[in-house]
Amino acid sequence: EVEKRAVRDSAERSGAREVYLVAEAMASAIGIGLDIDKPIGNMIVDIGGGTTEIAVISLSGIVLHTSIRIGGDEMNESIVQYFKKNYNLLIGEKTAENLK
């Protein structure tokens, strides 16, 4: 709530007459052109460095949202370990990122 209030206050101080806060998953769905009004489920998965956000959107609303503490950094490390274990090959973090 504190972050939302800070964003709202900043927008209002910048001269905005009306401020609407939209959930990141909803903004992502709209941004990629999904028809969020239909009665079908659309899953949005946002993989960050440390966390992964998962949301299901249907009928213009978020039906389900969860966050897990596994992100891209752990995936990169798993890729590095996979190549080391299965191929005796050392790859760097950047290579793992590119493979992902």
Chain segment 64-91, per-residue pLDDT in tens = 999 999 999 999 999 999 999 999 999 9
- Segments in the chain forming alpha helices (H): 2-13, 24-31, 72-87, 93-99
Count of other CB atoms within 10 angstroms of residue 76: 21
Instruction: Classify burial at 47, counting beta carbons within 10 Å of its beta carbon; exposed 0-12, middle 13-18, buried 19 or more.
Output: middle
Map out the domains of the chain as residue ranges: 24-67, 70-100
Give the gyration radius of the chain's Cα atoms: 19
Distances (CA, A) of 21 to 6, 11, 16, 99: 11, 10, 13, 35
pTM of full prediction above 0.95? no
Given a contact cutoff of 8 angstroms between Cβ atoms, the answer to whether 52 and 73 are in contact is no
- Low-confidence spans in the chain with pLDDT less than 70: none
Please give the Cα distance from 66 to 86 (Å, whole number): 33
